[in-house]
Structure 1
Amino acid sequence: MFSRIALRSTQAAQQIPRQSISTPRTMLTAAKSLYTAKASATGGGRANGTAKSETTSFTVSIQPPGSESNTNPEELVALGYSTCFLGAMKVAAQQIGKSGPSDAAKSFADVTLNSTDSKTSPFTISTHLTIEDTKHDIDTLVAVAKQTHTVCPYEIAFKGNIKQSFTAIAKDGKSESW
């Protein structure tokens, strides 16, 4: 899914004119591959399947959403998205001259599987990401989070392809959603 995404080094990314989050993104040209994760799935896929990393020892049983004892694809996307976004906030903060997320910062990703009336595309996913940082004011947190939309690989892949929403919660309890 993410093989179409090309990553640039931080220095190369800083030389690209910044886009506002409302500007459609275009695919970037790969400057250098940084990492390729390899995985396989066997069995029933979403129902009674197994997903296994081919690059590490990580293996997980896959069950349909709602199963309490095993995981599902949406949970795996949420794990990757929340960690990637939080890490990308450090790069974004540097790009706009702000301090990055504190060690107390948390990101929470909700990845929702939706059904549609379409016969050709009966399912979609949507996301809601919440960033919480008890060390930053709301203006700084929102500015950094919005800049992160231009550097986080998940954000670049999701933008324009799925419905997304965001919330930032700052040190004084103030929040902003977009």
Structure 2
Amino acid sequence: MKPLFTATATAIGGRNGHTETSDGIVSADLSVPKEMGGPGKSETATPEHLFAAGYAACFGGAIDYVANQQKKDASKATITCAVSIGPREGGGFGLSVKMRVEDRSIKQAELERLVQEAHEKICPYSHATRGNVEVNFDIVGG
């Protein structure tokens, strides 16, 4: 792969620390949520928050890219990405993703095709998670 862009971030203190991109655009204090036995400090994020935000934005861009190739407009699609963490059967922890894609200006069947193509061919987050993370979709078209 020939990189087109590289984002760099540094985390100090792991899940109870701070993470920030080298350009300062993303800066987040982190804490372990109460559900995972941590303090769940207010106004803090988790790696799952950051992953969900990135995947939702990237997937929205992938759908819009696919739609544009087909002379359609999906620029107003709303993508909601829920990332869950939990113990794996083989030990350690794993992630699962539930992605809701809504655009009532596009017919249901058409939106389903756009989502499928974006997921299978375009979105780098989808490529990275394939075979590693369960990703389920809820698609709501017009």
Letter in 1 for 2:87: S
Cα distance in 1 between the residues matched to 2:33 and 2:137: 23
TM-score (norm 1): 0.71
Letter in 1 for 2:117: Q
In structure 2, do the counterparts of structure 1 residues 145 and 98 end up closer, same or farther at CA, with 3 Å as the change threshold?
farther
Cα distance in 1 between the residues matched to 2:26 and 2:54: 14
Identity %: 30
Conserved 8 A contact 2:18-2:27: yes
| Aligned residue number for residue 37 of structure 1 | 7
Question: Are positions 1:130 and 2:100 aligned together?
Answer: yes
Q: Which runs of 4+ in 1 moved over 4 A?
A: none
User: What is the root-mean-square deviation of aligned Cα atoms in Å?
Assistant: 1.5
| Aligned residue number for residue 61 of structure 2 | 87
1:57 to partner: Cα distance: 3.8
Cα distance in 2 between the residues matched to 1:159 and 1:37: 22
Q: Which runs of 5+ in 1 are unaligned?
A: 1-29, 172-178
| Aligned residue number for residue 58 of structure 1 | 26
| Aligned residue number for residue 145 of structure 1 | 115
Cα distance in 1 between the residues matched to 2:132 and 2:94: 10
Conserved 8 A contact 2:64-2:75: no
Residue correspondences, number: 135
1:117 to partner: Cα distance: 4.0
| Aligned residue number for residue 130 of structure 2 | 159
TM-score (norm 2): 0.87
Conserved 8 A contact 1:78-1:109: yes
Q: Which runs of 5+ in 2 are unaligned?
A: 35-39
Cα distance in 2 between the residues matched to 1:58 and 1:152: 21
Question: Are positions 1:49 and 2:21 aligned together?
Answer: no
In structure 2, do the counterparts of structure 1 residues 93 and 57 end up closer, same or farther at CA, with 3 Å as the change threshold?
closer
Q: How does 1:103-122 map to 2 (within 5 A)?
A: 103=76, 105-118=77-90, 121-122=91-92
In structure 2, do the counterparts of structure 1 residues 159 and 117 end up closer, same or farther at CA, with 3 Å as the change threshold?
closer
